[in-house]
Structure 1
Amino acid sequence: MTPGLPTYRVRGIGLAACIAVGATAVLYLVVALGPLLGMVLARQARADGDGDLLLGAVLAQALLSLPMAVVYLTAAVLVIIWTWRARKNTDAFPGALPTLGAGWAIAGWLVPFANFVVPARVMAGVARDSLWRRFTPTTVVVWWSSWLVFSVGERVVSRRDSQAYDRLPEIPSTDAGYQAYIDYYGDSLLRNAVPAVACVVAAVTLILLIQRISAAQEARIASAAPVWPVAPVAPVWPVAPVSTPGTPGTGGTIGA
């Protein structure tokens, strides 16, 4: 370790980030499969002639999206904190060659357009300097590619779903009207397939990166720290011999 530079523990925050990322992927899959429930309710509404069931499908989708959004934001905060700590640790690793400052571990996600490139560059640098790779690990490339597909695809799907829903009859009164809802949910289910798969791939690869980098950094930090603290030892000064009456002192003369 480079003397004078602080290091940060990353295993605990990394574990929390992994749990949050995994939970986000699971909840997004639930949301992506939500149109299945919409199809069931739309068919039941057609059979019963009850349009209120269609409102239940909309409410169910909203209730599924709410916990996913909360966990997603939690995962984002934890990943950013972990990335900042991991990036700061590389400053103390002799031989590391970081190309971007630690501040970009946070700002890279917030600056428009830069957030398409900077987070990947920060993660690639941390991975190389922590795992001692000459080139960017393939896991980083897979993670960022799948994340971009998910991030862009989810927005596109959400916009297309909104546009398609606006074209539906507000209160269906015929079989054709109910069938339009059934078709809408079927198309939405298909549109969700690509971002759902990308979300799972991005989550799995990010969890692998966090675990591997955390383990490598913790091992290096531990190897550079002393096992037991050494207390300072007070110096021992030589003590001059003391002569007693009738006993010649060191260096003395008999009968003097």
Structure 2
Amino acid sequence: MRCQTCGDATSPEIDHCPRCFTPLGQPAVRPGLPTYRVRGIGLAANVAVGATAVLYLVVALSSLIGIVLARRAKANDDPDLLVGAGIIVAVVAMIMTVVHLAAAVLVIIWTWRARRNTDAFPGAEPAFRPGWAIAGWLVPFANFVVPARVVAGVARDSLWRRATPALVSVWWCSWLVFSVGERLASRADGRAYEKLAEIPFNDAGYQAYVDMYQDSLGRATLPALGCVIAAVTLIMLIHRISAAQEARIDGATPQWPIAPVWPAQTWPAAPAAQPASAAQPAPEVPGVAPAS
């Protein structure tokens, strides 16, 4: 007897498939339970996650532009160059924030769909309800643990693992480094910027802007590294989980559709022939004698 999920040979001595853990005799997908396609939304999420990582690197490196412009402002005694540096950094940060929010929404939708699919997989052992795929990101303090545990469960049940893949741990640790580090660095940059003179009048004032951008570049190094690692590992996870779930759902779906059975068309029955005795007399025609 072969497993209906992975196709490996099974033994009656074990009540489940040794490879994919599907109980013996169970289909790959439980009939009657809804499943969702995750390849398309996963691809969109991966594009948004990758774009967020690239834009954050641009934001972190935009401090280099600030350093160059601040030094030129100091050399030329031109405070307008400082305004240009601030505008460039603010515009890039705003674009990154918009893309980051779009990536968050797409990842949450993908996580919810992938988690719902595991309910239809025999042998899956989800630890959290599908609603936590959304609420886990929004509830304070829970968002430090729950999203990782939801994705870990989805990865185990989709990739046929009993232990959580190491890729999940690397993703979540690097995400925490990015998330916490970015907030701390942003607050520190805000406090440093508030201490600067709006219009510097001497070399010391211009040098304060140069030092501020240099410190900002240093503070963004660790969050930028965490952002890149988190983005790469999350893209890999979404791709692998989506491919595994799509293959399982497709394997449980008939490849050839069954032709629909149309109801037989009914025609009105012909009227029954009347007996001769009950036949109606023929109509009389004027000028013609009836037959005797």
d(CA) in 2 for partners of 1:17, 1:170: 41
Residue 244 of structure 2 corresponds to residue 216 of structure 1: yes
Q: In structure 2, which of residues 31, 35, 39 is the aligned counterpart of residue 7 of structure 1?
A: 35
Paired position in structure 2 for 1:120: 148
Q: In structure 2, which of residues 40, 58, 61 is the aligned counterpart of residue 33 of structure 1?
A: 61
Paired position in structure 2 for 1:249: none
Q: In structure 1, which of residues 50, 59, 63 is the aligned counterpart of residue 87 of structure 2?
A: 59
Paired position in structure 1 for 2:72: 44
Q: Secondary structure of the residue that 2:199 maps to in structure 1? A: coil
d(CA) in 1 for partners of 2:197, 2:67: 16
Residue 226 of structure 2 corresponds to residue 198 of structure 1: yes
**Bigger relative contact order, structure 1 or 2 (CA pairs below 8 A, ≥6 apart):** 1
Q: Which amino acid aligns with 1:113?
A: F
Residue 114 of structure 2 corresponds to residue 86 of structure 1: yes
Unmatched 5+ stretches in structure 2: 1-28, 263-292
Paired position in structure 1 for 2:208: 180
Unmatched 5+ stretches in structure 1: 235-256
Instruction: Give the C-alpha shift of residue 233 in structure 1.
Output: 6.4
Residue 129 of structure 2 corresponds to residue 101 of structure 1: yes
Q: Which amino acid aligns with 1:22?
A: G
Paired position in structure 1 for 2:49: 21
d(CA) in 2 for partners of 1:91, 1:207: 23
Instruction: Give the C-alpha shift of residue 38 in structure 1.
Output: 0.4
Paired position in structure 1 for 2:174: 146
d(CA) in 2 for partners of 1:90, 1:161: 43
Identity among equivalent positions (%) equals 72
d(CA) in 1 for partners of 2:245, 2:258: 24
d(CA) in 1 for partners of 2:194, 2:93: 19
Paired position in structure 2 for 1:244: none
Instruction: Give the C-alpha shift of residue 231 in structure 1.
Output: 3.0
Instruction: Give the C-alpha shift of residue 66 in structure 1.
Output: 1.5
User: RMSD of aligned C-alpha atoms?
Assistant: 1.1
Instruction: Give the C-alpha shift of residue 169 in structure 1.
Output: 2.2
d(CA) in 1 for partners of 2:104, 2:260: 45
Give the structure with the higher percent helix: 1
Q: Which amino acid aligns with 1:121?
A: R
CA displacement, residues 138-162 of structure 1 (integer Å, 9 cap, x when unaligned): 0000000000110000000001111
Q: Normalization by structure 1: what TM-score?
A: 0.90
Q: Secondary structure of the residue that 1:222 maps to in structure 2? A: helix
Q: Which amino acid aligns with 1:16?
A: A
Instruction: Give the C-alpha shift of residue 53 in structure 1.
Output: 1.0
Q: Normalization by structure 2: what TM-score?
A: 0.79
CA displacement, residues 101-150 of structure 1 (integer Å, 9 cap, x when unaligned): 00000010011111111100100000000001110000000000000110
